[in-house]
């Protein structure tokens, strides 16, 4: 149903703009489209405030891009914005069906690849360093380039830390589950999947989604989190299942409305690396390989150790690949009854 109140900000802020341009990109199979032209003005002095505006005041641009008939449940649209940090020219906010988020590793790779290959940042030589603003703070993308094409991107992730270790929570329909809770750009409840006697594989995707949803809901009810530097970051956003064969891990991050992340999940891998180091399971100078449910791989290492508030934290690096595969223009027609989109329970 058309939400006229929500739609008003899109139409007013677009002015004479009657279309939105989307660059289609994926990182190791996870769709991370980029809104490159036609976005409305989003109020806020920081990207974190702009993220909050989308989540708390007006989510019209999110619904327009992500809900049907233009969007689908298994995707992200990254809102490309001018940076609020003088150290960077561009920033971005990852928008997913459940809301705008503070950070994403796979989507950072998509954004960095697009900025370079579209010529929005200058590049020369085999490596291009691109600072990017995010709601979680400034990050740096170091992209390798060959024949004018980005071949891989290494992201310096936000400060990552273990907040809770070896907590036992009660999950309806499952029983007691042991979890860690860590921050890698957003908060994750980390679950060693061996205790659930299920493998991370395509055939189990539906069951993983059901388990992940129940665990995330239980963790959100039973565990309190609070970022020491950003008051607004105080909720668990995702469940990440992990199979460990160190220094390799296989991961499955569960996203709203009920799907598996197609990539190894950069923020989740950052959170997992921080937890592994804090618990002494890997050395601080050891690279880990994080593999997704479809076989894509990210490579994570620790750039430095530091404090985040009073907590011991690391700055992880996350290396992976992204590909530009298309371009879409969405037309804005005020007679369209579905400008705010719709969702149906068959896939949502």
> Looking at the annotation, which residues are catalytic?
104, 265
CB 190 within 8 A of CB 182: yes
Burial class (CB in 10 A: 0-12, 13-18, 19+), 230: middle
- Residue ranges of alpha helices (H) inside 129-282 are 205-222, 266-278
Looking at the DSSP bridge assignments, the partners of residue 313 are: 306
Nearest CA among 154, 178, 165, 182 for reference residue 319: 154
Cα distance between residue 340 and residue 64, in whole Å: 5
Cα distance between residue 348 and residue 331, in whole Å: 24
Residue 174 dihedral angles phi and psi, to the nearest 5°: -120, -45
3-state secondary structure 161-199: EEEEEEEEEEECCCEEEEEEEEECCCEEEEEEHHHHCCC
Cα distance between residue 11 and residue 271, in whole Å: 39
């Amino acid at each position: 149903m058309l939400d006229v109140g929500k739609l008003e900000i899109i139409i007013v802020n677009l002015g004479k703009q009657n279309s939105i341009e989307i660059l289609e990109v994926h990182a190791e199979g996870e769709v991370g489209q980029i809104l490159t032209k036609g976005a409305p003005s989003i109020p806020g002095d920081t990207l974190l405030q702009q993220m909050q505006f989308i989540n708390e005041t007006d989510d019209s641009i999110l619904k327009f891009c992500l809900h049907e008939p233009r969007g689908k449940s298994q995707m992200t649209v990254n809102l490309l914005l001018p940076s609020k940090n003088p150290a960077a020219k561009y920033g971005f906010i990852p928008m997913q069906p459940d809301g705008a988020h503070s950070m994403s590793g796979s989507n950072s790779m998509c954004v960095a690849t697009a900025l370079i290959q579209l010529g929005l940042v200058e590049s020369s030589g085999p490596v291009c360093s691109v600072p990017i603003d995010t709601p979680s703070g400034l990050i740096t993308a170091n992209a390798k380039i060959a024949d004018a094409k980005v071949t891989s991107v290494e992201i310096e992730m936000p400060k990552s830390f273990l907040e809770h270790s070896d907590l036992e929570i009660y999950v309806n329909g499952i029983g007691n589950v042991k979890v860690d809770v860590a921050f890698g750009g957003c908060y994750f409840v980390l679950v060693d999947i061996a205790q659930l006697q299920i493998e991370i594989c395509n055939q189990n995707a539906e069951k993983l989604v059901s388990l992940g949803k129940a665990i995330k809901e239980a963790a959100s009810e039973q565990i309190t989190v609070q970022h020491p530097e950003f008051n607004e970051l105080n909720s668990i956003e995702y469940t990440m299942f992990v199979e460990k064969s160190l220094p390799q891990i296989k991961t499955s991050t569960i996203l709203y409305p009920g799907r598996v992340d197609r990539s190894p999940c950069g923020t989740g891998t950052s959170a997992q690396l921080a937890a592994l180091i804090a618990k002494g399971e890997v050395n601080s100078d050891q690279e880990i390989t994080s593999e997704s449910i479809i076989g894509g791989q990210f490579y994570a290492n620790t750039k430095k150790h530091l404090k985040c508030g009073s907590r011991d934290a690391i700055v992880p690096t996350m290396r992976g690949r992204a590909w530009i595969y298309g371009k879409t223009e969405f037309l804005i027609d005020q007679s369209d009854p579905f400008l705010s989109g719709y969702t149906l329970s068959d896939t949502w």
